Amino acid sequence: MNPIGTGFIVNGFLGGLDDIQRKIYVKKIITNCILTGVGSLLAGHLILLLFGLAIPVIQLGGGIIICKTGLEWLSDQGTGKTEKMQAMDKINTDDIEKKLFYPISFPISLGPGSMSVIFTLMASAVVKGNVLSTGLNYAIMSLAIISLLVILYIFLSQGTRLMKKLGRSGNIVLNKLIAFITFCIGIQIIVTGISKIFHLQIL
């Protein structure tokens, strides 16, 4: 989950709104993400059983998606983003309402890569024979999801001011740094998945 990088993208959908409207829509986006993220955490084991998926496969697939996302952000030169934001300014509130869950909440704010990481952490959180430790692990992961979404809420509610203070150059540098880190995280998850599938000792 990338609250800062995501904030720049989502801000494009919220252009032209006043502060009151922006906060109303931001709260709805964050609520959708919390329900989706925590819901996936609680029901993740059932989903894995239902589709017969193994954790290493989830790690490999999720890592590829995260790498792809990082590469897309790295290759984005910023051209067209301003035009997109200007176009979004003309969208009325009804159109924004229709897009609050898809694509703004999912998959932009909380994407497939994030979901795969949640599934992976969820599976490794179960401690056999120790309900207290398992419950504590789930609580910590839920707190981590909510904490990241709190950062996204702050960034979105103050998005216009933050972007103006950073300036165009600051926005580009920050986005590229986040994109590179995201790409590296994806590689790490892929390597972990491959090592478990082929029973290799990597890193």
Residue 79 pLDDT more than 60? no
CA distance 129 to 19: 50
More confident residue, 39 or 85: 39
Residue 68, amino acid: K
Which tokens belong to 79? 């051209």
Is 203 part of a structural domain of the chain? no
Is 17 part of a structural domain of the chain? yes
Do 197 and 57 touch, CB atoms closer than 8 A? yes
Which pLDDT score, from 0 to 100, does residue 145 have? 92
Is 144 part of a structural domain of the chain? yes
Residue 9 pLDDT more than 60? yes
Is 202 part of a structural domain of the chain? no
Question: What's the alpha-carbon Rg for the chain, to the nearest Å?
Answer: 18
Nearest C-alpha neighbor of 142 from the set 1, 62, 34, 47 = 34
Mean pLDDT of the 43-49 span: 79
- Most confidently modeled range among 27-36, 152-161, 168-177: 27-36
Is 171 part of a structural domain of the chain? yes
Mean pLDDT, the chain, rounded, equals 80
pTM: 0.67
CA distance 21 to 18: 5
Which pLDDT score, from 0 to 100, does residue 139 have? 93
Is 58 part of a structural domain of the chain? yes
What proportion of the chain, given as a percentage, has pLDDT over 70?
87
Is 141 part of a structural domain of the chain? yes
Which pLDDT score, from 0 to 100, does residue 149 have? 93
For residue 78, give the DSSP letter. S
- Please count the CA atoms within 13 angstroms of the CA of 115 that sit on its side-chain side: 20
Is 80 part of a structural domain of the chain? yes
Residue 46 pLDDT more than 70? yes
Residue 8 pLDDT more than 50? yes
**Number of structural domains the chain divides into:** 1
Residue 194, amino acid: I
Mean pLDDT of the 84-112 span: 71
Range of the domain at 24: 3-197
Mean pLDDT of the 23-44 span: 91
Mean pLDDT of the 128-149 span: 91
Mean pLDDT of the 154-166 span: 78
